[in-house]
A = this chain, B = another copy of it.
Amino acid sequence: MEIPHIPIPKPIPYLMSKKPKYTYEFGKKTDGNASEAMRALLGGKGANLAEMAKIGLPVPPGFTITTEVCTYYYANKKKYPKVLDEQIRKAVKSVEKQLGKKLGDKKNPLLFSVRSGARDSMPGMMDTILNLGLNDDTVEALVASSGNERFAWDCYRRFLQMYGDVVMGVQKRPDEDEEPFEVAIEDLKKELFPKEKGEVDDSLIDGEAMKELVARFKKLIKERTGKEFPADPWEQLKGSISAVFSSWMNDRAIVYRRKYGIPAEWGTAVNVQAMVFGNSGEKSGSGVAFTRDPASGEKVLYGEFLTDAQGEDVVAGVRTPRPVAELKKVLPKPFKELVAVQKTLEKHFKDMQDFEFTIEDEKLYMLQTRNGKRTGLAAVRIAVEMESEKLINWKTAVQRVPADQLDQVLAPIFDAKAEKAAASLAKGLPAGPGAASGRICFNAERAVDMAKKGHVLLVRVETSPEDLRGMIAAEGILTARGGVSSHAALVARQMGKVCVCGAAELEIDYHSRTLKVAGKTFKEGDYLSINGTSGEVYGGELPTAPSEILQVLIDKSLKPAKSKSYKNYAQLMDWCEKATKLGVRTNADSPKQVSNAIAFGAQGIGLCRTEHMFFEGKRIDAMREMILAEDTETRKKALKKLLPYQRRDFAGIFTALNGLPATIRLLDPPLHEFLPHDNASQRELAKTLGVSVASIKRRVEDLHEFNPMLGHRGCRLGNVYPEITEMQAQAIFEAAAQVIAKGIDVAPEVMVPLVSFEKELAIQKEIIDRVAKEVQAKKEVKIKYLVGTMIEIPRACLVADEIAQHAQFFSFGTNDLTQTGLGMSRDDSGSFLPYYQEEEIAPANPFASIDQSGVGKLMQIGVEGGRSTRKNLKLGICGEHGGEPSSVKFCHKVGLNYVSCSPFRVPVARLAAAQAALEKK
């Protein structure tokens, strides 16, 4: 695949020089920093290593190979720039000089870690190599220098394992359930401790056994790849760097980027850093920590560590790590340093940090820091609390909450009574708050399939990046091993998945596909429930209840003062209110929906679909009578029957709105949607209406269309049958008059759908204005109303200047605008769109997020055209994109007045709108 040259945010002078700079050192001499431009070039990890080195935190020296090299690599058939090799050698020499060690030296060898580092963190998605530089010679030097044979050979076997997997491709086959290297370890353990039934701790493997493992690993590599493991450290370095660059395009990285909208063009950097050893004994260790709790947002030093372990052990969840608080007892000196680091980091980076550290012989080293991923719940709490701590201002606080995660705070929780009555089977770490029930599944691939039929809980001993698809598909994740910084917890947090991890009581057997816990056995497909806020695991399917915020806002069953999460939410929404330019309305067809949406802060209805009102009870009969009418008179008679229903519906909605505006769309769908298509229903209808079945069949056939999306619908109905528009206008204005009579303000905005020719709207507006005049005269009332149109056909965007002559507002109907603008029927796209997303042919699902380069351009043309005719034209959007954050931001950018979305998406839209307004400044 060809990748164009990446755009670097700011031009950097040396890029113009003949010899570009591809490596950046950090340590005693530091070239980079954490600026935006550097982050693009060095990746997040590299930029922050440089920044930490600059502010004096203890960072082992090393260098970063830039993302430009990655781009070059893919654009040039996996070749490197010529000058790179020289620059790497120079950078290695600099590290050697700082530490007085040498790569490949038999006496005092320098060892490296090689890690990926993209602009945005993609945890676990790409590959890492540790202990690079070891071979049969240098390992002996390590034995000598550390005086610890087991440690040295353990490092060596770890290096072999990683190198074999990542660089040489020794991985589990589809028919295998475990990694071959892990199997080799387990086999050796069984040989060494044949009587042991439970798990044998790695620490029981001694130096001799490690040597044996190294031999077996080498053999395994040779067997599986046909190649020898390379002893030359420079070859190792080259191979490792290539492997990291290659992992940028592996499956899980692509899936991840797609989910989080990271452009493939950004590329990854590679960080080559001197090794420090958390596994050199009991005075050493590795850990991962957060400056605040990433699940709940609470302000505590939060995290975990393992003594005598490398960082990878903590993250991978192989050994269950210990809470970081315990470090105080175990290694008090480095713990004290860690607490100081926590403060320094938050003060410097002004955001919750997620950092990795290693302790080598009681000395603390910082290996990484980054802004911590957090759940939606935590995001809200951290933002609100950091503002009150004066670490950030309210504007930054608003921008800190990912809008698409805000709905997590509205997600259901378990019904309190039911949860109390249920017996907890086990308790793990509450890694992703919320309530989830579903059928359990022990394999990620199977979970994807099962999820098509209903809710699934993915249950694993531990998860790994290969499980990503299954984790996306699952409702919740439950693991037996691993802490809050394990892969499972990390991914769940980021996706807002309900997650309980490290529930050690679980006995999971992948082969028999069973889970034993608390004396019970659950088979794949059985129901479990997990509470990701408390960590409890329950059998069966527990009933859920609305979230605290909903209990305050909608049920009113909870007092605002009693809910901390409501208070945080309310504070955030207040700030949003202050920032926002863009209004947020709701798509609602009933008074109940209207009330809910108003509770969430909706400023009116952006789309009331009148046709939904025609399906209830007897209305459908009158509707069908109208459709079957062969002449205007009969049609008018049927419409007369529909009038009182519509009037009542509108009166209800106007009352609920209490003066807020309501955009009411006139009849839109093709008429055949209202007719029965099977024989039995046709017979019944014939009886009800007293006509022949044949006549009904004929009319159904007459109305059949090859492409109903592009057929006789929208204002094409109201133009060919003006009496329909007349009836609807009459219902709207008579309802308005009724409600006004009760002393309630009313602001109807009558919306004509599917306009593509200005005259379509002109004629409809004439009818609506005439009926409005008649009703106002008859009822002796003044009704303030607007007439406008939905812009949902490409032509309408192109002739928006003409259409605006007759429109007091436009509302972009981005659902249909996407279908027509892309020539893609949403209902039919299932046969190719998933494939298109998989292959990145379509950059995102255009029905979820506005296709900005296509549909968005049409909208821009429409906005410009409309406003060129009518400067103050009111502009909105009522497609389903109105509740999707990036689309909301786009709407702000092109200058719409409001977005409209379903009631429960209103908070998300308000937040996105506020963020858009703040970004602009």
A residues at B contact (CB < 8 Å): 2, 705-712, 716, 719-720, 754, 756-757, 759-760, 762-763, 792-795, 798-799, 802, 816, 819-825, 827-829, 831-832, 835-836, 839-843, 851, 853-855, 857-858
Contact = CB atoms under 8 A, between A and B. Distances in A.
A831 B720 contact: yes
A759 to B, nearest CB: 5
Given A707-B710, A840-B759, A841-B763, A795 B821 contact: yes
A583 B829 CA distance: 37
Contacts of A832: 712, 716, 719-720
Contacts of A757: 836, 841-843
A92 B839 CA distance: 80
A802 to B, nearest CB: 8
Nearest to A706: B827
Given A2-B762, A720-B831, 7 more contacts: A709-B823, A709-B825, A716-B836, A756-B822, A757-B843, A794-B854, A820-B820
14 contacts: A2-B762, A706-B708, A709-B709, A711-B829, A716-B832, A719-B832, A757-B842, A759-B839, A793-B822, A794-B821, A795-B823, A795-B853, A798-B821, A816-B823
A756 B709 contact: no
Given A719-B836, A832-B720, A836-B757, A823 B706 contact: no
Contacts of A802: 853
A754 B709 CA distance: 18
A289 B618 CA distance: 70
B841 A759 contact: yes
Nearest to A805: B4
B841 A712 contact: no
A887 to B, nearest CB: 16
Given A720-B832, A821-B795, A831-B712, A756 B854 contact: yes
Nearest to A865: B857
A825 B794 CA distance: 14
A719 B823 contact: no
Nearest to A756: B822
Contacts of A794: 794, 820-823, 854, 858
Contacts of A799: 853-854, 857
B831 A711 contact: yes
Contact of A756 (B716, B795, B824, B831): B824
A819 B829 CA distance: 18
Contact of A709 (B2, B706, B816, B843): B706
Given A794-B858, A854-B794, A828 B759 contact: no
B841 A760 contact: yes
A874 to B, nearest CB: 23
Nearest to A802: B853
Contact of A825 (B707, B827, B835, B836): B707
A82 to B, nearest CB: 27
B756 A710 contact: no
A704 to B, nearest CB: 9
A477 B855 CA distance: 51
Nearest to A821: B794
Q: Which 6 A-B pairs have the closest CB atoms?
A: A795-B854, A710-B825, A711-B828, A707-B825, A793-B823, A794-B794
Nearest to A702: B831
A819 to B, nearest CB: 6
Nearest to A704: B828
Nearest to A759: B841
Nearest to A792: B823
A498 to B, nearest CB: 35
A825 B711 contact: yes
Contact of A710 (B2, B824, B840): B824
> Looking at A710, A762, A799, A853, which has the most chain B CB atoms within 10 Å of its CB?
A710
A842 to B, nearest CB: 6
B719 A828 contact: no
Contacts of A707: 707-710, 819, 825, 827-828
A825 B704 CA distance: 13
Given A757-B841, A835-B720, A710 B823 contact: yes
A824 B854 CA distance: 19
A842 B853 CA distance: 29
A798 B712 contact: no
A798 B710 contact: no
A708 to B, nearest CB: 7
A843 B760 CA distance: 11
Given A763-B841, A795-B822, A709 B710 contact: yes
Nearest to A798: B857
A806 B692 CA distance: 58
Contacts of A819: 707, 710
B710 A853 contact: no
B706 A853 contact: no
B853 A798 contact: yes
> Looking at A707, A823, A841, A855, which has the most chain B CB atoms within 10 Å of its CB?
A823
Contacts of A825: 705-707, 709-711
A716 B836 CA distance: 9
